[in-house]
Amino acid sequence: MINKGTKLDNNINIKLRRNISVSYVYNFLLQLNITSAIWVLYLAFKGMSLTEIGIIESIYHITGVLFELPTGAIADLYGKKFTVILGRFLSVISCVLMITSNSFIGFAISFVLCAASNNLNSGSGEALIYDSLKELGEEERYKKIWGNLAFIISISQGIAVLLGGILSDVNFLYAYIVGTLIQIVALISSFSFSEPPVHKNEEEDESRGNAIAYQVATSINVLKARKVVFYLILFSALVGSLQTTVFFYSQKYFSDLSYSKTLIAVICAVGSAIEAVSSKYAYKFEELFKLRGTLISIALANIFALLGLALSKNLAAVFFIMTSINGGLAYTIFSDHINKRIPSEYRATILSVDSLFFSVFMISVFPLFGVLAERIGFSITFGTIALLYVPVMIFLMLKLKKHRDIEEGEIVIEEVNYQ
């Protein structure tokens, strides 16, 4: 006779394994954002100045700062699947507003909803995958699976920017209508996820007052105790903000160099394709250079790419693509090292801290870039941002070295005591 408990466990395992394949489909659709490479041009077409565009992007990231930790806590407390689905609802509404708005206020509201939808997805989607593997006892597969997922995401982004560029050359509205339909399909696919079980301390659950505040406070305490995670998150956010700033403003930079929208889309698509390969094989790069060598390589390559954009207009596309390579490496490697250092019951909240710091960097860097680009030009602005990043990256590298040495020393002591 088949044991009912065993049968139930098998059903759960099948659902958890299915989460991986569902995540591939869902994230492909999620990242098939065909307006990602044209929204700066679209807002400019609608009459927004570069300064207004910078402010709108800052509003997006201010929303991210305000919502990031609460949405991560909601995911840990009420379920990652629920949070992902809610995020897609808001995304669809945001897309509709982008089509119907013609004013700064309308676009700002759209960006607020877009930020909230991404907040709801940011820690939840990643935590859902890692916790599914953890429940299956297969955490060691995460780096390769996340690399595969990053590959799919980058390919999707490449297709999106290419399709978006072609459609926008015909009519901006067509691109936004198709983008809205894709987000609706992504919403439908999100219902296929299964919630992975997370084992919590029941006594702690019963003693909580404000559940969300408790979740956030406890997650912050975890970060205080695990400084390596904290500085990895800061480094990840810094690299991510750098790549995002270059990606979006390069649309206008290339346009000023008389590139057509289709050619800009092709450049972005090539960058996404190379980023996909970079993400997929990031684990091999890290095996060769180890974490410390990888971080140094990413930092130096990003500075070099910014300086290249500043000094060589003829090779601007090459240096743009270099930032894509760095982004692919960082996306996979940071995710793996952060996830394996944090407990499941606080995973979505702590991963939301990563997005929060990304937003903090973007709030300061993105509008600054827009103002500088309008006043002194893109070339000098790229060089200025490169120089500003140097001391920040050196500081983070020194802090990571210090706390990784402490972490490794604590592991050795634990092993000696265990023996």
3-state helix/strand/coil string of the chain: CCCHHHHHHHHHHHHHHHHHHHHHHHHHHHCCCCCCCCHHHHHHHCCCCHHHHHHHHHHHHHHHHHHHHHHHHHHHHHCHHHHHHHHHHHHHHHHHHHHHCCCHHHHHHHHHHHHHHHHHHHHHHHHHHHHHHHHHCCHHHHHHHHHHHHHHHHHHHHHHHHHHHHHHHHCHHHHHHHHHHHHHHHHHHHCCCCCCCCCCCHHHHHCCCCHHHHHHHHHHHHHHHCHHHHHHHHHHHHHHHHHHHHHHHHHHHHHHCCCCHHHHHHHHHHHHHHHHHHHHCHHHHHHHHHHHHHHHHHHHHHHHHHHHHHHCCCCHHHHHHHHHHHHHHHHHHHHHHHHCCCCHHHHHHHHHHHHHHHHHHHHHHHHHHHHHHHHHCHHHHHHHHHHHHHHHHHHHHHHHHHHHHHHHHHHHHHHHHHC
Q: What is the pTM of this model?
A: 0.65
Answer whether 99's CB lies under 8 Å from 180's CB.
yes
Report the percent of the chain where pLDDT is more than 90: 12
Answer whether 245's CB lies under 8 Å from 57's CB.
no
pLDDT of residue 403: 81
pLDDT exceeds 90 at position 52: no
Query: Where is mean pLDDT largest: 85-99, 223-237, 269-283?
Result: 85-99
Report the alpha-carbon distance of residue 65 to residue 363 in Å, rounded. Answer: 9
User: Domains of the chain by range and CATH?
Assistant: 18-193+203-418 (1.20.1250.20)
pLDDT of residue 415: 37
pLDDT of residue 211: 62
Mean pLDDT of the chain: 80
Stretch 341-349: mean pLDDT: 73
Stretch 281-300: mean pLDDT: 80
Report the alpha-carbon distance of residue 334 to residue 178 in Å, rounded. Answer: 33
Confidence of residue 408 (pLDDT cuts 50, 70, 90): low
Contacts from 85-88 at CB under 8 Å and sequence distance 24+? 85/187, 85/190, 85/191, 86/120, 87/116, 87/117, 87/118, 87/119, 87/120, 87/121, 87/124, 88/30, 88/117, 88/121, 88/183, 88/186, 88/187, 88/190
pLDDT exceeds 90 at position 93: yes
Report the alpha-carbon distance of residue 187 to residue 181 in Å, rounded. Answer: 10
pLDDT of residue 187: 92
Is residue 201 packed enough to be buried (19+ CB in 10 Å), middle (13-18) or exposed (0-12)? Answer: exposed
pLDDT exceeds 70 at position 204: no
